[in-house]
Amino acid sequence: KRPAGAPDKALAQKVTKVGVIGAGLMASQFALLFVRRLQVPVVITDLDQGRVDKGLAYIAEEIGALEAKGRIGSDEANRLRALVSGTTDKADFSDCDWVIEAVFEDLAVKQQVFAEVEKHVSPTTILATNTSSLSVEQIGEKLEHPERVVGFHFFNPVAVMPLLEIVKAPATNDATLATAFATAAKLRKSAVLTADAPGFVVNRLLAKVMGEAARAVDEGTPVPVVERALAPIGLPMGPFELIDLVGWAVAAHVQDTMVSKFPERFYASENMHALSKLAQVVEKNKAGKVTDFTKEAKK
């Protein structure tokens, strides 16, 4: 059955090579998914070789884990390993027909990254953005061919979460949208088409939950109590544990975007930024996660 809003799948373009910009955790997770489900070459890039190597190491580790669990055989594991490569030169994207970015959540950075890619790829190469709350229209507006830009938003952990938000900007053409839906189906994700509005659907709702959880803390309820209070209503994890999972910088960014777009509807918590700083200290000291300090909440 054709998903709501998806164009005729006959319009979908072939995806024979994928370029991934950003080799952070989210990008590495979906790079692995692309290679596993599409079985095409996947090349990842980042600002420097160190970051690229970190992404490649994550992917190699996860392929090893799939093999160890018996989810894939050793032939398949070797095939996947051979299909993944890294580069610091976007010219290596020249034969990609699908490029997806997950770089820092900053509009100017994303615009600049796509402008640079556009110099190297064909005019019909799809440029997908994994932005969690920025405008897809604005990300593409400075390009020569904005009609091939589409939002393609994964959720953490990518391997497990079934949802994918596909975002159509006013300029996005049907071939691009059809390719996005066809690709989502190959990745075995359940795709929904959302409006190009701040936070799309999921982050709009999550930002409310996280903002109100932060407000409860600001009002004097301790973090572990907020976590414990929410567990019995069926959330798979408390709001702060979820922020640990998606990353404090990302969560604080989503919150800031929502507050700047809808100041009367969203809540900016100083505590959230303070906890975001604590998360950086925790990460730097390899001391686990912020919510390790709130383990009591789970007892």
Give how many residues touch ligand CAA by CB under 6 A: 15
160 near ligand CAA, judged by CB under 6 A: yes
Residue numbers annotated as active site: 153
**Closer residue to ligand CAA, CB minimum distance, 155 or 267:** 155
User: Listing from the earlier edge strand, what are the strands of the sheet with 84-87?
Assistant: 84-87, 42-45, 18-21, 98-101, 126-129, 149-153, 163-167, 190-194
Applying CB under 6 A, among 10, 232, 236, 299 the residue interacting with ligand CAA is: 236
**Closer residue to ligand CAA, CB minimum distance, 109 or 159:** 159
Dist. CA 148–CA 133, nearest whole Å: 19
Residue 43 CB, nearest approach to ligand CAA (Å): 22
Residue 27 CB, nearest approach to ligand CAA (Å): 13
Applying CB under 6 A, among 28, 45, 125, 132 the residue interacting with ligand CAA is: 132
Applying CB under 6 A, among 77, 107, 237, 268 the residue interacting with ligand CAA is: 237
Chain positions 242 to 261 lying near ligand CAA, rule: CB under 6 A, are 242, 246, 250, 254
Chain positions 44 to 103 lying near ligand CAA, rule: CB under 6 A, are none
Upper half-sphere CA count for residue 95 (Cβ side, 13 Å): 5
**Closer residue to ligand CAA, CB minimum distance, 108 or 161:** 161
**Closer residue to ligand CAA, CB minimum distance, 143 or 226:** 226
**Closer residue to ligand CAA, CB minimum distance, 51 or 153:** 153
Residue 181 CB, nearest approach to ligand CAA (Å): 20
161 near ligand CAA, judged by CB under 6 A: yes
159 near ligand CAA, judged by CB under 6 A: yes
Question: Which spans of this chain sit near ligand CAA (rule: CB under 6 A)?
Answer: 132, 155-157, 159-161, 203, 206, 236-237, 242, 246, 250, 254
